[in-house]
Amino acid sequence: MAPFFDQDHLALRAHVRAWVQENWDSLNGRVSDVEEEARRLVRLLGQAEILAYVIPKRFGGQRERVQARDICILREELARASALTDAMFAMQALGSYPITLYGTEEQQKRYLPPIGKGVAIAAFALTEPEAGSDVSSLQTRAVRRGKEYYLTGVKRFISNAGIADSYVVFASTEPEKRGKGISAFVVEADDPGLIIREKTQLISPHSIGVIEFEECVVPENSLLGNQGEGLKVALGTLDVLRCTVGAAAVGFAQRALEEAIRYSQDRRQFGQALAEFEGIQFKLADMATELEAARLLVYQAAWTHDSGSEDPKQKSSMAKLFATEAAQRIIDQALQIHGGAGLVVGNIMERLYRDIRALRIYEGTSEIQKLVIARELLKKA
Amino acid sequence: MDFELSEELVAVRDLAREFAEKEIAPTAAKDDRERNFRKDLLLKMGELGFFGTVIPEEYGGNGLGFLALALITEEVARAHSALRVAINMQIGPALALLKFGDEEQKKKWIPPLVRGESVGCFAITEPDAGSDVAAIRTTAMRKGDNYLINGTKLWISNAPVADGGLVYAYTDKSQKHRGLSAFYANFDRPGITRRALETLGAHASPIGELTFENFALSAENLLGKEGDGFKVCMWQLNQTRLNCAAGAVGLARAGREAAVNYCNQREQFGQKIGQYQMNQDLIAQMIVHEEAARLLVYRAAWLVRGRGRSVRRRCCLKNTRRLRLLYRVSRRALLPRCQILSDRRGLLEYSKAHHRPGRVGV
């Protein structure tokens, strides 16, 4: 799989694949307490120096500049083993990249090194009850009084709510300006007025919840970027990480394909292995082909970002849309091949079937990606 | 390594695009309607080196490689899908000759194919043999120094117009597929009759039946040894498959571009139909599938050059996906037009020149 990669990417892939293999049982254990498991996984990823790929070298990271290709490779390999491990890795990236992009030297020094070591957990708080795809309608307010900002509002579907040490929070400083009045802040877990309202349970185990700011006081140097630049901070971050969601989908789909191949060779019906039936072979061929196309789109988008040769936005949207939708189809087919066995709670197919679902929604739903892609095309024509 | 095209390849693509837009596109609908086989375009493409990208210079080619061929084919198919068939009819026989022919055969037959002077074809399919190549019934009986070919080949692209081509026939039926042999022959000799066939689309790419009755060939026409036919056939199909896929990308692109343009022109309920999310959804799906398909083709083309061993699997992967996709994409591309275009003539032209040739490729 050489296109779009340099030698060191291939080395990273081999390295993380081996690490995943060694830690397979540890990544795949039964989860009784999601938060405890989430904390453990972040520490593990930190110790393995995998998290070092989400922050720049100056702050203890691996590379001068954070690379989309590294994150894609890591997410694909981690997702192949465990959705929660991938999610924890991805959240460290999502919660730190705004600071990497727009943080002051002081903010970067304070937050990035512990996130990269896995001793601090990061979060990204954008979504609200009334603001999802329509980001600029968010209602959380930040009012400046003297040398402090006072935040008020509710954020929901916030990954790592309650276990994070720092939250990048988006709030409106000038509501009348809508999108252009949004600003970004770094809020620390023990800042007064930050309240965890709910731990939300999803179909796939994930540390997520509702947080509320009740006159939450933060010092003025918590502002990330300039006042009114919040949307730029959010979109700049999401533009880079969007294709990595596609990479995670590729990892899930790869696992599903591997499981389907193995199962279809073991299971016998009508006197032969399932894999001997053309009906099953066609499924496997379609799955493998879609997977390959998804992978190429993801790597192309990541490479486009890293090389800076053109605006990666449209390619990233294509990668996320195609890879997540394809992965859902591939996993559905893999479960079909497993028959009833795939429905049993605890079976890998049952798990993947739940794990993949969120990826078509978070960081821009498939529908939003389509709008981005189509509008870009209509504009060019 | 990445897929960023070298300057040389960009130049090749630009040349092909310019040629396709200036020389092929203006008459595409007319050529389709009137079923014109454009030998003049074949000669021009030959002159520009389009058929020589996978042939070394000593046999009249330019050796630019499979990626160059894929880029050219995408551009040609975008302008008129029927003409991408013509490309494969030249390079298929030329590549088989290059790989399995002796020096004399290569020198004699490859350059005219590359120049587009000799219209090529390959005759594999029969009424009862298609995917199951070994079921071929055409025989090559040895008589003295000659082989007498007897049998019927069906759905052979270029059959009505070919100057020569590859013919597969059994020299020893008892050996099963190991008794199949491959011949290359010019068709300007007695014992061959042709019949044109009507198909769903690709009307500017003639197709038909070839019947051989005591069609006499000599040992000079045999490719490799007796019994090599099956091997030659499988190898040859693995080469041309990639380009079939590249043509599909061009066709998909044509469909998508047509749909986008129309979405920007047509207004309903006070706004451009491209403003409706329903159409944006269709457009997004078209471009994403097209891009995925293109990457699979480029990757396969890149592998052909890099590591010969992997070619077959990549080609198969790409082909199933790509052709299926093509159908999906071109169908999708057609949908907005079908639904949006009340101009029946426009729809007919579109469906003839684009949709139907695409269906054949699946």
B310 in contact with chain A, both atoms CB, cutoff 8 A: no
A288 in contact with chain B, both atoms CB, cutoff 8 A: yes
Please identify among residues 243-282 of chain B the ones whose CB lies closer than 8 Å to any CB of chain A: 257, 260-261, 263-264, 274, 277, 279-281
Nearest Cα to Cα of residue B86 among B24, B30, B135: B24
Tokens read off for A379 = 């504009």
Closest-CA distance, A142 to chain B, in angstroms, reads 34
Nearest Cα to Cα of residue A210 among A218, A221, A199: A199
Residues of chain B with CATH 1.10.540.10: 7-115
Per-residue pLDDT, A171: 98
Per-residue pLDDT, A31: 85
Query: How many angstroms separate the CA atoms of A328 and B352, rounded?
Result: 35
Q: How far is CA B40 from CA B45, B111, B115, B119, in A?
A: 9, 17, 12, 11
Mean pLDDT of B37-59: 96
CATH of domain B231-361: 1.20.140.10
Nearest Cα to Cα of residue A34 among A227, A204, A178, A172: A204
> Which residue of chain B is at minimal alpha-carbon distance from A319?
B288
Of A259, A363, A367, A376, the catalytic one is A363
Has residue B326 got a pLDDT over 60? no
Per-residue pLDDT, B201: 83
Element (H, E) at B344: helix B344-350
Per-residue pLDDT, B223: 97
Closest-CA distance, A154 to chain B, in angstroms, reads 30
Query: In terms of pLDDT, which residue wins out, B362 or A94?
Result: A94
Q: What DSSP string runs through B254-300?
A: HHHHHHHHHHHH-EETTEEGGGSHHHHHHHHHHHHHHHHHHHHHHHH
Superfamily of domain B7-115: Acyl-CoA dehydrogenase/oxidase, N-terminal domain (1.10.540.10)
The question of whether A36 is a catalytic residue gets the answer no
Query: How many angstroms separate the CA atoms of A296 and B325, rounded?
Result: 15
Tokens read off for B73 = 């084919």
CATH of domain A124-228: 2.40.110.10
Per-residue pLDDT, B360: 57
Per-residue pLDDT, A2: 62
Q: Could you tell me the fold of the domain covering B122-229?
A: Butyryl-CoA Dehydrogenase, subunit A; domain 2 (2.40.110)
Length of chain A (residues)? 381
Query: Quick check: helix, strand or coil at residue A232?
Result: helix
Q: Position of tokens 């013509």?
A: B86
Which of A289, A303, A305 should one mutate to test binding to chain B, selecting the residue with the greatest count of B CBs within 10 A? A289
Cβ–Cβ below 8 Å for A378 and B264: yes
Residues in chain B with CB shorter than 8 Å from the CB of A370 are 280-281, 284-285
Q: Of the given ranges (A30-34, A315-319, B126-130, B242-246), which has the lowest mean pLDDT?
A: A30-34
| Under 8 Å between Cβ of B115 and B48 | no
Cβ–Cβ below 8 Å for B284 and A381: no
Query: How many angstroms separate the CA atoms of A284 and A261, rounded?
Result: 7
Closest-CA distance, A119 to chain B, in angstroms, reads 36
Residues in chain B with CB shorter than 8 Å from the CB of A297 are 288, 291-292, 295
Residues in chain A with CB shorter than 8 Å from the CB of B320 are 285-286, 289
Q: Quick count: other Cβ atoms within 10 Å of Cβ A218? A: 23
Length of chain B (residues)? 362
Cβ–Cβ below 8 Å for B317 and A286: no
Query: Quick check: helix, strand or coil at residue A356?
Result: coil
Q: Where are the alpha helices (DSSP H) in chain A?
A: 7-22, 24-27, 34-47, 68-81, 83-102, 105-117, 230-266, 278-307, 313-338, 348-355, 366-380
Please identify among residues 1-40 of chain A the ones whose CB lies closer than 8 Å to any CB of chain B: 2-5
Residues in chain A with CB shorter than 8 Å from the CB of B2 are 3-4, 303, 307
Closest-CA distance, A77 to chain B, in angstroms, reads 21
> Which residue of chain A is at minimal alpha-carbon distance from B273?
A378
- Please tell me chain B's helix, strand, coil percentages from 3-state DSSP, rounded to the nearest 5: 60, 15, 25
A289 in contact with chain B, both atoms CB, cutoff 8 A: yes
**Which of A289, A370, A377 comes nearest B321 by C-beta?**
A289
Query: How many angstroms separate the CA atoms of B298 and B290, rounded?
Result: 12
Nearest Cα to Cα of residue B169 among B185, B177, B180, B161: B180
Per-residue pLDDT, B337: 39
> Which residue of chain A is at minimal alpha-carbon distance from B257?
A381
Residues of chain B with CATH 1.20.140.10: 231-361
Per-residue pLDDT, A119: 98
B283 in contact with chain A, both atoms CB, cutoff 8 A: yes
Which residues on adjacent β-strands are paired with residue B151? B212
Cβ–Cβ below 8 Å for B292 and A293: yes
Tokens read off for A320 = 């996320």
Per-residue pLDDT, B313: 47
Cβ–Cβ below 8 Å for A371 and B280: yes
| First-residue to last-residue Cα distance in chain A | 34
CA atoms within 13 A on the CB side of B167: 34
Q: Is A270 left (phi over 0), alpha (psi -120 to 50) or beta?
A: left
Has residue B336 got a pLDDT over 50? no
Asked, colleague to colleague, whether A7-120 and A124-228 share their fold, the answer is no
Nearest Cα to Cα of residue A82 among A40, A20, A161, A158: A20
Which residues on adjacent β-strands are paired with residue A170? A184
Please report which confidence band the pLDDT of residue B356 belongs to, taking 50, 70 and 90 as the band edges. Answer: low
Per-residue pLDDT, B5: 87
| Under 8 Å between Cβ of B215 and B148 | yes
Q: What DSSP string runs through A10-38?
A: HHHHHHHHHHHHHTHHHHS---S-HHHHH
Cβ–Cβ below 8 Å for A381 and B4: no
Which of A315, A370, A379, A380 should one mutate to test binding to chain B, selecting the residue with the greatest count of B CBs within 10 A? A370
Nearest Cα to Cα of residue B76 among B64, B65, B86, B61: B86
Residues in chain B with CB shorter than 8 Å from the CB of A290 are 321
Per-residue pLDDT, B323: 40
**Which of A285, A309, A321 comes nearest B288 by C-beta?**
A321
- Please provide residue B166's backbone torsions phi and psi, each rounded to the nearest 5 degrees: -85, 135
Tens of pLDDT, residues B59-75: 999 999 999 999 999 99
**Which of A296, A371, A378 comes nearest B296 by C-beta?**
A296
Q: How far is CA A78 from CA A41, A45, A69, B19, in A?
A: 11, 10, 14, 48
| Under 8 Å between Cβ of A160 and A133 | no
Q: DSSP letter for A200, please.
A: P
A324 in contact with chain B, both atoms CB, cutoff 8 A: no
Q: How far is CA B267 from CA B36, B270, B272, B281, in A?
A: 36, 6, 4, 17
Residues of chain B with CATH 2.40.110.10: 122-229
Instruction: Give the CATH number of domain A232-380; options: 1.10.760.10, 1.10.10.10, 3.60.40.10, 1.20.140.10.
Output: 1.20.140.10
pTM over 0.95: no
Residue type at B148 in one-letter notation: L
Maximal CA-CA distance, chain B: 80
**Which of B1, B284, B295 comes nearest A2 by C-beta?**
B1
Residues in chain B with CB shorter than 8 Å from the CB of A381 are 257, 260-261, 264
Instruction: Compute the Cα dihedral for B58, B64, B70, B72 and give only its sign.
Output: negative
Looking at domain A7-120, its CATH architecture is Orthogonal Bundle (1.10)
| Under 8 Å between Cβ of A224 and A168 | yes
Cβ–Cβ below 8 Å for A322 and B288: yes
Nearest Cα to Cα of residue B185 among B140, B125, B237, B240: B140
Please report which confidence band the pLDDT of residue B199 belongs to, taking 50, 70 and 90 as the band edges. Answer: confident
Cβ–Cβ below 8 Å for B293 and A293: yes
Provide CB contacts within 8 A for A46, sequence distance 6+: A116, A117, A118, A119
**How would you write the pLDDT of chain A (381 residues) with one tens digit per residue?**
568 999 999 999 999 999 999 999 999 888 889 999 999 999 999 999 999 999 999 999 999 999 999 999 999 999 999 999 999 999 999 999 999 999 999 999 999 999 999 999 999 999 999 999 999 999 999 999 999 999 999 999 999 999 999 999 999 999 999 999 999 999 999 999 999 999 999 999 999 999 999 999 999 999 999 999 999 999 999 999 999 999 999 999 999 999 999 999 999 999 999 999 999 999 999 999 999 999 999 999 999 999 988 888 999 999 999 999 999 999 999 999 999 999 999 999 999 999 999 999 999 999 999 999 999 999 876
Please report which confidence band the pLDDT of residue B215 belongs to, taking 50, 70 and 90 as the band edges. Answer: very high
Which residues on adjacent β-strands are paired with residue A219? A148
Query: How many angstroms separate the CA atoms of A83 and A267, rounded?
Result: 26
Please report which confidence band the pLDDT of residue B361 belongs to, taking 50, 70 and 90 as the band edges. Answer: low
Cβ–Cβ below 8 Å for A321 and B284: yes
Closest-CA distance, A71 to chain B, in angstroms, reads 18
Residues in chain A with CB shorter than 8 Å from the CB of B283 are 373-374, 377-378
Domain ranges of chain A: 7-120, 124-228, 232-380
Residues in chain A with CB shorter than 8 Å from the CB of B298 are 3
Residues in chain B with CB shorter than 8 Å from the CB of A288 are 317
Question: What ipTM does the predicted assembly reach?
Answer: 0.80
